[in-house]
A and B are shown apart, each in its own frame.
Chain A
């Protein structure tokens, strides 16, 4: 195989490139967009191809002679769509046997719909959002497969592991004292360790089924946010208990406490829809299930004044305005509260069946690898550490 890796300088692309070069099984063509972000690869002393995925001729030149293409490229919303169009056109017109593409679980909404335990769930995206453009990519990939292109589409969550910016952000939030657990960390966490994703991408090159439909890839298991925080708190110098708030408090903060306008209210509604208690009630009542699906399909158009009483109603408040908290609100990071409210585990049984995927690293192993990396780059406990700590804090 001769494999072109687009987005090779990114977290997933660089990890994959390093792995594949180390294995030496295939000829690798790492393709980068700009030199500024490619240091991790450049240090290996390998030739790097520079190409703009939005330029059709650039793409054709880059894949010349390649038999397989892996797309890890990010970019602007427009670049996402133009880029995949160009890659698919190259796959259709060149002797390329397969495209392996990365999708995102964000196409199932934020928070994801309860049904998105399975890939068959209906996507939910806001028009013009990043999720919308990722979904458009997925649609284009599937359409190309209908026309004869063979593609595998791996649908991933937030990426963890060595070099992970997401996990670095969690550590930074813990260090800054802005991280709060929800319900003592009981919420399920769904992460994809970058090494697991790279492993899955390699499997995607070989599997029989290549219809372009989404396949969930993550670390599996039953890990919780409490597990994540227990692993990372020492890196942030935290020995004190991490504060915990209730789901209701978290939802209130995430929604801006009734001050965030229409979008905040719609966000609250979506989060309500993801609650286990609501899910259970809805699942037990077919009529409610039907109504709920219908509502969810249409709530993007709801103005805030309509969303707010509905939110309260779903909480059992009888349709009145939600009570506002009193006193100063802690400056908790809404992003991670929101992620703890997702409440859905995307099952990886399809990946197991189609790819033979078994995540090599569970949450604990992933956190161990990240910790080892972080301690190395920060120089923990090495000479000068006392002074470096002054600079970190």
Chain B
């Protein structure tokens, strides 16, 4: 499959290009970046025999698919252009910055009959799929509530620094980091009934955010509590309380699952996927690319469809719409 890498910044350099180079049947035939110098340097460093262009339109007739890894606000125009040229697209998360943009992408993909997949890479962790199965089967019991947290002091900084520009990202930490968990949450539990939300934005991208989502109705209703931050470190993880105990899913690596049955408080169970001898969790970007290529060649749906990407953005905007300010003054009248 002939691929264009659209955007040659950090995520392309560190994740997408290595995945393409490792994947049989995938070939980089074009690099597109507003900085021709950066794209050319990437091609030279990796010995790529690829066209280098500053405009996507100049290479669309030479590729079968495109991996779009540019600032969020450019996703719509680039993806729609791919669709109209009959080129499949794997779009870095989030799909776009607004619901209207997501819907425009979905419509363009449907009209052209091309695949648009969304790069929520953690979906390709085996433990995430395992959790889905076990939750569906009520293996841990009936959910009564959950909590999720993820926080870093700063962190990932794309070359362009666009993540600090709310116009370019479409939001803040919720859009940049939290969206990954929202994807898993939507996959595991579906779309929530209602949300409450607070963050510390004072006009710019929020650095810290908290949300509560409600699932179900009546006696089976339960709440999920989320908090994400770019200003303070919080070990990433998910805790689920059920009528049979507490489940802990710690982020990092493959993700680890531990269940503490309430009837046996002195024990905890490590939930491990049985694997064939010698097999291990494969690189999630490799799996994502293979899934995308399979979808393109067979017409099957990718693991994360444009429609799912749209639901994610719908939920984020639902949260932003009910935003209340998070407390950020702790010294009384002296501080901002």
A-side residues, CB < 8 A to B, are 9, 15, 18-19, 21-22, 34-46, 48, 50, 162-163, 165, 168, 195, 199, 360-361, 365, 369-370, 372-373, 376-377, 379, 382-384, 386-388, 390-392
Taking a contact as CB atoms under 8 Å apart, the answer to whether A48 and B164 are in contact is yes
Beta-carbon contacts under 8 Å, B163-183 to A = 163-164, 166, 172-173
Taking a contact as CB atoms under 8 Å apart, the answer to whether A36 and B156 are in contact is yes
Most central of A163, A372, A377 by chain B CB within 10 Å: A377
Chain B residues within 8 Å of A168, by CB = 232
CA of A382 to CA of B229 in the docked complex: distance in angstroms? 17
Taking a contact as CB atoms under 8 Å apart, the answer to whether A195 and B153 are in contact is no
Asked if B331 is at the interface of the complex by the 8 Å CB criterion, the answer is yes
CB distance from B9 to the nearest CB of A (A): 12
In the complex, residue of chain A having the shortest beta-carbon distance to the beta carbon of B212:
A383
Q: Which of B149, B202, B240, B248 touches A44 (beta carbons < 8 Å)?
A: B202
- Given known contacts A40-B231, A45-B202, is B223 in contact with A384 (CB within 8 Å)? yes
CA of A376 to CA of B210 in the docked complex: distance in angstroms? 11
CA of A391 to CA of B247 in the docked complex: distance in angstroms? 11
CA of A267 to CA of B189 in the docked complex: distance in angstroms? 56
Q: Which of A43, A165, A369, A373 touches B205 (beta carbons < 8 Å)?
A: A43
CA of A387 to CA of B154 in the docked complex: distance in angstroms? 25
CA of A9 to CA of B158 in the docked complex: distance in angstroms? 17
Asked if B276 is at the interface of the complex by the 8 Å CB criterion, the answer is no
In the complex, residue of chain B having the shortest beta-carbon distance to the beta carbon of A46:
B204
Q: Give the size of the chain B interface in residues (CB under 8 angstroms).
A: 51
Taking a contact as CB atoms under 8 Å apart, the answer to whether A377 and B164 are in contact is no
A-side interface mostly: helix
Q: Which of A19, A41, A377 touches B232 (beta carbons < 8 Å)?
A: A377
Q: Which of A48, A369, A379, A387 touches B330 (beta carbons < 8 Å)?
A: A369
- Given known contacts A22-B335, A195-B335, is B164 in contact with A42 (CB within 8 Å)? yes
Chain A residues within 8 Å of B173, by CB = 39
Chain B residues within 8 Å of A384, by CB = 145-147, 212, 223-225
Asked if B116 is at the interface of the complex by the 8 Å CB criterion, the answer is no
- Given known contacts A377-B232, A387-B246, is B241 in contact with A39 (CB within 8 Å)? no
Asked if B267 is at the interface of the complex by the 8 Å CB criterion, the answer is no
Asked if B92 is at the interface of the complex by the 8 Å CB criterion, the answer is no
CA of A369 to CA of B25 in the docked complex: distance in angstroms? 58
CB distance from A55 to the nearest CB of B (A): 16
